[in-house]
Amino acid sequence: MKLYVLLGPTAVGKTELALQIAEKLGSPILNCDSRQIYRGMEIGTAAPTPEQQQRVKHYFVGTHDIGSYYSAAQYEQDVLSLVRELSHEHCSLLLSGGSMMYIDAVCNGIDDIPTVDAEVRETLRRRLNNGEIDEMRSELRLLDPAYYREADTRNPKRVVHALEVCYTSGRPYSSFLTKERKPRPFDVVKIGLRRERQELFDRINQRVDAMMAAGMLDEVSRLRPFRHENALNTVGYKELFHYLEGEWELPFAIEKIKKNTRDYAKKQMTWFAHDNEIKWFHPDEPSIMKVVL
RNA sequence: GGUGCCUUGGAUGAGUGGCUUAGUCACCGGUCUGCAAAACCGUGCACGGCGGUUCGAAUCCGCCAGGCACCU
């Protein structure tokens, strides 16, 4: 069993190439995008279109409600069980997307950490909003000194999550971290797409304009009642919410979307740069198709 | 031709003799094990040019260059 993983920064051209590769492999596409999972965000996340989904069967596109909880660990489980199912009729499958952590979760696994108790989560969230981050840091130092020493405690998300696990499980968060690579019932072949920076940035800027022309503002307006949901804390949506709230001018918001998308692409490239299992190609290179034969 | 004002890093913009010379934006680099298109962290780069005063000048003085304003 072989799992091909097509990855690369946003707007590099994964969607189109994925279709070609999938057709060649006779595989469906297991989408790997933490936002395209949600229903109703099609334009702003550049999700595969209905036509594209008709060409090749896609999984993990528009399957969840905006308000529902999802995570890399959940994705790991979902993909693994889907792969198990599909392996009866496929000897190779294609996973395609740019969500770095989701890719790692599938390829290497995430440690098993107890699911955080909803009440604990809510309590800590409230305390954080109350400005109690300093006390929470102190608590973490007591409950999990080992993690406290290594973690970036200036990042509230890290502190909160570690505490969530400590309080839910009654054990130090770090006691769940094995840092071991989980065995997989498939071989992974990572295909990375990259372009020269200027080329990629031009595509990003153009794509944002295209999204606006395609009705992005309507899509965002429709989602406005849900703007506090985590799924919508996403490039493209958060900026246009500022516009709809009357806080930003539209051209300013659009420039921000472009800038934040470029930043996101840079972060993706930084992350992928450490992964030496990736074979890199320019999307237009013909040799790329040979990799999957 | 004369007089006055101005000239700070990629942009903007404080600072008026000496301590690590801001801040903001942009650019660039990095972190990442359960909401990750999230969150967080970091770096570089300047005082128009030349000369002088001074222990020490972006800060004072002179000349030059460029810009702006006014005057003849």
Q: What is the pLDDT of residue A179?
A: 84
Write down the mean pLDDT value for chain A.
95
Question: Which nt is closest to the CA of A255, judged by C1'?
Answer: B26
Taking residues A23-45, report their average pLDDT.
Answer: 97
Closest alpha carbon to A18 in A51, A47, A46, A56: A56
Measured CA A154 to C1' B17 distance, in angstroms? 39
Question: Which nt is closest to the CA of A198, judged by C1'?
Answer: B27
Is any atom of strand B within 7 angstroms of residue A248's beta carbon?
no
Percentage of residues in chain A having pLDDT higher than 90: 94
Count the alpha carbons within 13 Å of A44 in the hemisphere toward its beta carbon.
Answer: 28
Is any atom of strand B within 7 angstroms of residue A149's beta carbon?
no
Question: CB neighbours of A172 closer than 8 A, spacing ≥ 6?
Answer: A143, A144, A146, A147, A166
Taking residues A243-251, report their average pLDDT.
Answer: 93
Model ipTM over 0.95: no
Task: Tell me the per-residue pLDDT of A155-175, one tens digit each, with 9 for 90 and over.
Answer: 999 999 999 999 999 999 999
Question: Which nt is closest to the CA of A76, judged by C1'?
Answer: B34
Q: What is the pLDDT of residue A48?
A: 97
Structure confidence at residue A291 as a pLDDT band (50, 70, 90): confident
Is any atom of strand B within 7 angstroms of residue A169's beta carbon?
no
Measured CA A231 to C1' B49 distance, in angstroms? 56
